[in-house]
Structure 1
Amino acid sequence: MGQELPADVLQHALTKAGVHPGDEVIVPSYGTSEVVQAVRQAGGLPVYVDIAPDTFCIDPGAVEAALTPRTSAIVPVHQFGHRADMARLSELADSRGLLLVPHAVQRSSSAETAVRQANAAFLTQRLNDVITPRVQPGAEHAFLQYVVRVPGNGRPDRDAFARTLRAKGVRCQVPVQTPVHRMPPFRRDVWLPETERAADECLSLPVEAGMSRRELQRVASSCNALGGLLQPA
């Protein structure tokens, strides 16, 4: 599985790109704190913006709305293996003279990525009662995590769904428990509705390259068996 690069590597990239102390740097809150730590280490001021609900990546429209004369850079994150909308972000950065410094990941081999993509396609074809990942036209998705939305009443239903799956022996995890802007060391008083909704609804299901079709079918069957229990209010 690919892993996000450490904060000090991103901090070096930001400094080398030209981020100066006091500069505003636009970042997503949905994800790990690594990006915010790197911005702070570079002397920048993190500005949180919302995500696009279908990709979980930073929303270019939200980025544009957050720009001020003090903005110097944008840090997109290719969330869960889905590439951010780099075409729109590049156009926006170029038009405003901003730095664009993507948070890269350590990539897996192409063979492993292809297997994960095939496993993800297998689940997508068979899952009935969760909202499966969407891949934007022309975008790349390496499926470092296979993240679904559990319909219902948000966090309580998602957590109940996860507990039941684990009881059935299905490994699953909440990909983002707390958005960065609500973590005490990085707290900001901002309202990011799509970020909050994703934190309440999302669940990561296993699609590792070593999984057999039987194991994948067990994941799908276990999820589908819960469909009648958790429905939107």
Structure 2
Amino acid sequence: MLRAAGIGHGDEVIVPAYGNAEVAEAVVLVGAMPVFADIEQSTYCLDADAVAAAMTARTAAVIVVHRFGNQADVGRMRDVGQRHGVLVLEQGELDAPYDELAQRRAHAAYLSGRLSGVVTPDGGATHSYQQYVVRVPGNGRPDRDAFARAVRAKGVECRVPVKTPVHRMPQFRRDVALPETERAADETLALPVDASMSRRDLQRVVSACNALGGLLQPAF
């Protein structure tokens, strides 16, 4: 997409730091410079205001990445792009078959209605729950990691969706303030929501998480 748009040496491309490095790597491969902007707290997708603040005279494009099944606010991002004369590109996520998507949404609704030890996703009609990502309250990464270990010990598979934001990786290190990106990397945990899960599997997730939630209190 970048090559087709004529983007290359001397250009800047605004990308999210919350996620894997492949988008920033693609920018580098065409000779351009990745510039990192912060994300929205609720969707984990690029924040339009943060993107506007990151614009410079060399900004040629913005790459919007839909994350975990959340849909970025592409309409608002395109408004920003039009005001600044900047191209807005999307990196989408593959849609699941309808039956699988409906089952994932049903499982997500079950978890969201019963989990009390974590902050559940905002959801919404367009969320496809490719990953069911919660936030663990408490003291950031130490509490999140301890929570994950305890949940795994109870037989529930879970994983940290983004361990290191891209702007903290050695090859892309930038001295830039991205508070929502940092907070998300420290607090998020992906719980299982596969379409193949049984009601008993879901109950096990709820039981494991709720038994631990009261042990973690927000730091003041």
Interval of TM-score (by shorter of Structure 1 and Structure 2)? over 0.9
Partner of 2:196: 210
Distance in 1 (alpha carbons) for counterparts of 2:189 and 2:163: 10
| Aligned counterparts, 1:19-168, within 5 A | 19-135=7-123, 140-168=126-154
1:169 and 2:169 equivalent? Answer: no
1:189 and 2:175 equivalent? Answer: yes
User: How far did residue 108 of structure 1 move?
Assistant: 1.9
Tell me which amino acid in the other structure corresponds to 2:7: V
Number of equivalenced pairs: 219
Q: What 5-or-longer segments of structure 1 have no aligned partner?
A: 1-12
Of all paired residues, the percent bearing the same amino acid is 59
Give SS of 1:208's match.
coil
User: Deviation digits for residues 1-24 of structure 1, max 9, x if unmatched?
Assistant: xxxxxxxxxxxx111123132211
Give SS of 1:17's match.
coil
Tell me which amino acid in the other structure corresponds to 2:152: R
Partner of 2:4: 16
User: How far did residue 214 of structure 1 move?
Assistant: 1.2
Tell me which amino acid in the other structure corresponds to 2:188: C
Distance in 2 (alpha carbons) for counterparts of 1:23 and 1:180: 19
Backbone CA RMSD of aligned residues: 1.1
Give SS of 1:214's match.
helix
Q: What 5-or-longer segments of structure 2 have no aligned partner?
A: none
Distance in 2 (alpha carbons) for counterparts of 1:111 and 1:55: 24
Tell me which amino acid in the other structure corresponds to 2:172: F
1:228 and 2:207 equivalent? Answer: no
User: How far did residue 89 of structure 1 move?
Assistant: 0.3
Please report the TM-score for the alignment, with normalisation by the length of structure 2.
0.96
1:199 and 2:185 equivalent? Answer: yes
Give SS of 1:125's match.
helix
User: How far did residue 105 of structure 1 move?
Assistant: 2.3
Tell me which amino acid in the other structure corresponds to 1:219: V
User: How far did residue 42 of structure 1 move?
Assistant: 1.7
Give SS of 2:177's match.
coil
After TM superposition, which residue ranges in structure 1, 4 or more long, deviate above 6 angstroms?
none
